[in-house]
């Protein structure tokens, strides 16, 4: 069924022109984005139980565009579900959305050739109830033009044709653009990396820092491991020698980031034989998805150093971190480098306890024995770390997908499901206790008719009819489930390793206060905070729970040096990236609850995307391992002032950076 079968078009904040053959629609958006809205009775007959929404698009700009598809089940203003797909510039790309993914059980969808990242937001829609959809773009720093071809539904997944184009050179750089610092030629690459390998770490001019990077001017009782303490004015981390410590970290300390090449090899000018000299740069698996990946940074080091490349990379990296003032190896870093560098680090635990039955997305059946058993197995991995004095602590997991939904009522979703589970049984016991076993009272308060509490084992499909009291009861039980989600693995982890700090879940953001449930099990509460300053989020959490807060991720990107996306926060250029870093970290360090900020990440992402399609210019170094000097200047300035800002002996940097609308999601 094609676009012409839809009954009505309308435009919201965009100009629309349709071709004579009705197969191409050109959408002109201003900086605020906009939508082409499609609605009418025909939509109700569009969907198959198994099928695909398919459209070809052409992004007419010079940067990545976030193409946004929205779905409504009613005439309310806000959509029930939003799907955003990244599209490369000037490359006609086929986008394909499986209808089954409209249930929102998966937040991130796999890549297909030509497409970048896909993010699903919302609690899901029933395809048979969709009355309106729209196609549009994200906000941007400039107006944008998108051309849409052949919007239709099909039962079978299509192929993914791509034009013949070469976009990436032999060093992993964008071919179609020039910029300051771009590498031209193999001789230049070798010369630069050899010069970097021959540099020595400078001799420190002052001795105010301990071997762990703690501040000798701030003393506490030494415990032999990292811990926390409140000095009467603010929270501190305390290093093993008893010195005040602020964790200034860098995430993903690896030699580069592997590029996803599945189905898009024609876009690369050079990809070597898999079994030749560059074998180490190839991989077919990472922790997220199988596929073909090629790491151009590793290839560039092999060009310069041959089989001795890793030692040279580690030597250069350790020297740079020392010179920049980075004192913590952040999340997702090389364990081999951690052992080599002998500096403080944090560690992400793998395989957070799961269950076969899921309540929503990745939220498990937390009342089941399966969850408890898997939590014990999960904690066993800490045995190898528990005596390491350089380890600050561990993160239980990163950004649970269920926690992205605003005002998510997990118990309401549990109640809708007619499948049996330990959590459903616990919910029924909770309600029976709350209502003193009086099912008539439950019926009256919920404005429904129940013959017994066991009747709740059957799914209640139309929960929109539930009373306010029913929703409040379910909200309360949702908080109990979240507390148990946190407490069980935390308890097992502390039993396996009593020496190190439990740094929490690294929530993407606090979408609802229930995410604070179970905080008593943490030593430090962690969030990832992609704002220009962490102060408001850190302060909000700290004032409620009165414990230290650590930021596991933040970053800033720009479009002036050869990539097509800025990342989740954007500024005008590299100098502003450095100033944004200083503003972010120092406003955080001046906050009484903040004990660390970790930058994401050391490396730029690949120009055509990593495993999930992210291709951000937010690294400290490019694909040829050249630092962005203006950005590094900001890091150095920050690290030199950090402890005096933290101890209120120096005024924090407080000039708001030159922010622009982001390109990336």
Residue 548 CB partners (closer than 8 Å, separation 6+): 228, 235, 236, 237, 523, 524, 525, 542, 593, 594, 595
User: What's the whole-number mean pLDDT along residues 21-36?
Assistant: 90
Distances (CA, A) of 284 to 169, 290, 334, 458: 21, 6, 18, 44
Q: What is the pLDDT of residue 288?
A: 63
Quote the CA–CA distance of 89 and 64 in Å, as a whole number. Answer: 6
On the question of pLDDT at 42 being above 80, the answer is: no
Q: What is the pLDDT of residue 50?
A: 79
Residue 126: strand, helix, or coil: coil
Residue-by-residue DSSP string for 439-470: HHHHHHHHTS--S-GGGGGS--S-GGG--HHH
Report domain extents, the chain.
Answer: 3-154, 199-245
Beta-strand relationship, 391-395 and 501-502: parallel
User: What's the whole-number mean pLDDT along residues 346-369?
Assistant: 98
The total number of residues shown for the chain amounts to: 665
Model pLDDT for residues 579-601, shown as the tens digit of each residue:
999 999 999 999 999 999 999 99
Residue 558 CB partners (closer than 8 Å, separation 6+): 566, 570, 571, 572, 573, 574, 576, 577, 617
- Among 141, 211, 222, 272, residue whose Cα is nearest residue 658: 141
Model pLDDT for residues 600-624, shown as the tens digit of each residue:
999 999 999 999 999 999 999 999 9
On the question of pLDDT at 542 being above 90, the answer is: yes
Angle (nearest 5°) at CA 368 between 366 and 371: 65
Contact 474, 413 (CB under 8 A): no
Confidence of residue 205 (pLDDT cuts 50, 70, 90): low
Q: What percent of the chain has pLDDT over 90?
A: 90
Contact 80, 51 (CB under 8 A): no
Burial of 664 (0-12, 13-18, 19+ CB in 10 A): buried
- Interhelix angle 309-324/296-305, rounded to 10 degrees, is 110
User: What's the whole-number mean pLDDT along residues 195-209?
Assistant: 81
Q: What is the pLDDT of residue 9?
A: 74
Quote the CA–CA distance of 242 and 230 in Å, as a whole number. Answer: 13
Confidence of residue 5 (pLDDT cuts 50, 70, 90): low
Q: What is the pLDDT of residue 75?
A: 87
Q: What is the pLDDT of residue 203?
A: 60
Distances (CA, A) of 448 to 241, 462, 654: 62, 11, 56
Contact 9, 43 (CB under 8 A): no
Dihedral (Cα; 76, 77, 80, 83), 10-degree rounding: 150
Element (H, E) at 194: helix 186-197
Question: What is the average pLDDT score of the chain?
Answer: 95
On the question of pLDDT at 27 being above 60, the answer is: yes
> Within its chain, how far is the Cα of 576 from the centroid?
23
Quote the CA–CA distance of 291 and 258 in Å, as a whole number. Answer: 11
Q: What is the pLDDT of residue 287?
A: 59
Quote the CA–CA distance of 635 and 621 in Å, as a whole number. Answer: 13
Contact 51, 154 (CB under 8 A): yes
The residue with greater pLDDT, 373 or 24, is 373
- DSSP β-bridge partners for residue 621: 603, 627
Q: What is the pLDDT of residue 357?
A: 98
Phi, psi of 206 (to 5 degrees): -140, 165
Contact 186, 38 (CB under 8 A): no
- Interhelix angle 468-496/369-379, rounded to 10 degrees, is 30
Pick 3-154's CATH classification: 3.90.550.10, 2.60.120.430, 1.10.760.10, 3.40.50.300: 2.60.120.430
Q: Is residue 281 reached through a cis peptide bond, with omega within 30 degrees of 0 on the bond before it? A: no
Q: What is the pLDDT of residue 1?
A: 41
DSSP 626: -
Q: What is the pLDDT of residue 206?
A: 60
Quote the CA–CA distance of 635 and 581 in Å, as a whole number. Answer: 7
> Within its chain, how far is the Cα of 618 from the centroid?
13
Contact 461, 347 (CB under 8 A): no
Q: What is the pLDDT of residue 10?
A: 85
Q: Which tokens belong to 397?
A: 């997991």
User: What's the whole-number mean pLDDT along residues 443-464?
Assistant: 91
Model pLDDT for residues 458-499, shown as the tens digit of each residue:
989 877 789 999 999 999 999 999 999 999 999 999 999 999
Q: What is the pLDDT of residue 368?
A: 98
Q: What is the pLDDT of residue 299?
A: 98
User: What's the whole-number mean pLDDT along residues 269-276?
Assistant: 96
Angle (nearest 5°) at CA 105 between 99 and 110: 65
Model pLDDT for residues 170-192, shown as the tens digit of each residue:
999 999 999 999 999 999 999 99
Q: Which tokens belong to 567?
A: 């990342």
Confidence of residue 286 (pLDDT cuts 50, 70, 90): low
Please report where in the chains the tokens 């008539």 appear, as a residue.
Answer: 440
Phi, psi of 581 (to 5 degrees): -60, -45
Model pLDDT for residues 92-139, shown as the tens digit of each residue:
999 999 999 999 999 999 999 999 999 999 999 999 899 999 999 999
Quote the CA–CA distance of 151 and 353 in Å, as a whole number. Answer: 41
Element (H, E) at 588: helix 574-589
Model pLDDT for residues 219-252, shown as the tens digit of each residue:
999 999 999 999 999 999 999 999 999 999 999 9
Contact 660, 572 (CB under 8 A): yes
130-161 burial, b at 16+ Cβ within 10 Å, e below that, comes to: bebbbbbbbbbbeebbbbbbebbbeeeeeebe
User: What's the whole-number mean pLDDT along residues 628-645?
Assistant: 98
On the question of pLDDT at 285 being above 80, the answer is: no
Contact 556, 567 (CB under 8 A): yes
């Amino acid at each position: 069924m094609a676009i012409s079968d839809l009954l009505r078009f309308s435009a919201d904040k965009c100009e629309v022109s349709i071709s004579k053959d009705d197969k191409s629609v050109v959408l002109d958006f201003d900086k605020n984005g906009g939508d082409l809205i499609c609605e009418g009775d025909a939509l109700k007959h569009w969907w198959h139980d198994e099928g695909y929404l398919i459209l070809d698009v052409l992004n007419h700009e010079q940067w990545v565009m976030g193409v946004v598809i929205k779905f409504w089940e009613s005439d309310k203003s806000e959509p029930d579900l939003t799907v955003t797909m990244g599209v490369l510039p000037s490359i006609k790309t086929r986008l394909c959305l499986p209808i089954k993914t409209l249930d929102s059980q998966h937040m991130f969808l796999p890549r297909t050739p030509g497409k970048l990242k896909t993010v699903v937001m919302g609690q899901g829609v029933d395809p048979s109830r969709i009355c309106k959809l729209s196609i549009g773009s994200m906000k941007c720093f400039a107006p944008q033009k998108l051309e849409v071809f052949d919007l239709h539904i099909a039962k079978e997944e299509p192929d993914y044709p791509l034009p013949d184009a070469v976009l990436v050179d032999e060093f992993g750089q964008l071919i179609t653009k020039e910029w300051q610092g771009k590498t031209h030629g193999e001789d230049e690459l070798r010369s630069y990396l050899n010069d970097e390998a021959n540099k020595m770490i400078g001799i420190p001019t002052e001795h105010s820092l301990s071997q762990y990077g703690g501040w000798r001017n701030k003393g506490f009782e030494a415990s032999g491991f990292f811990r926390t303490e409140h000095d009467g004015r603010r929270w501190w981390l305390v290093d093993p020698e008893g010195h005040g410590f602020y964790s200034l970290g860098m995430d993903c300390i690896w030699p580069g980031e592997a590029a996803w090449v599945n189905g898009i090899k024609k876009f690369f000018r050079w990809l070597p034989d898999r079994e030749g000299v560059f074998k180490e740069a190839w991989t077919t698996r990472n922790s997220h998805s199988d596929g073909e990946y090629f790491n151009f940074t590793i290839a560039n080091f092999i060009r310069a150093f041959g089989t001795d490349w890793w030692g040279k990379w580690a030597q250069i990296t350790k020297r740079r971190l020392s010179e920049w003032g980075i004192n913590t190896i952040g999340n997702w870093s090389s364990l081999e480098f951690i052992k080599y560098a002998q500096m403080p680090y944090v560690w992400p635990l793998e395989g957070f306890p799961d269950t076969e039955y899921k309540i929503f997305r990745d939220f498990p059946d937390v009342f089941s024995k399966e969850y408890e058993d898997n939590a014990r197995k999960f904690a066993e991995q800490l045995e190898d770390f528990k005596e390491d004095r350089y380890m600050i602590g561990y993160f239980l997991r990163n950004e649970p997908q269920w926690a992205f939904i605003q005002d998510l009522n997990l118990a309401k979703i549990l109640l809708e499901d007619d499948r049996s589970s330990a959590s459903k049984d616990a919910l029924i016991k909770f309600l029976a206790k709350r209502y003193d076993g009086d099912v008539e009272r439950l019926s009256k308060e919920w404005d429904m008719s129940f013959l017994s509490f066991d009747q709740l084992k059957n799914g209640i499909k139309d929960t929109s009819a539930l009373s306010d009291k029913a929703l409040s009861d379910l909200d309360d039980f949702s908080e109990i489930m979240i507390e148990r989600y946190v407490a069980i693995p935390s308890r097992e982890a502390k039993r396996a390793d009593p020496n190190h700090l439990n740094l929490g879940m690294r929530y993407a953001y606090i979408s609802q206060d229930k995410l604070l449930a179970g905080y008593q099990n943490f030593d430090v509460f962690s969030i990832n905070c992609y704002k220009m300053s962490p102060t408001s989020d850190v302060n909000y959490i700290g004032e409620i729970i009165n414990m230290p807060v650590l930021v596991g991720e933040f970053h800033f990107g720009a479009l002036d040096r050869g990539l097509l996306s800025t990342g989740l926060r954007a500024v005008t250029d590299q100098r502003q990236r450095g100033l944004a870093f200083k503003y972010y970290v120092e406003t955080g360090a001046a906050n009484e609850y903040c004990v660390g900020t970790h930058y994401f990440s050391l490396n730029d992402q690949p120009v055509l995307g990593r495993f999930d399609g992210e291709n951000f210019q937010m690294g400290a170094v490019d694909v040829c391992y050249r630092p962005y000097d203006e950005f590094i200047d900001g890091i150095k300035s920050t690290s030199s002032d950090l402890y005096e800002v933290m101890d209120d002996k120096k005024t924090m940097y407080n000039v708001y950076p030159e922010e622009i609308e982001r390109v990336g999601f």
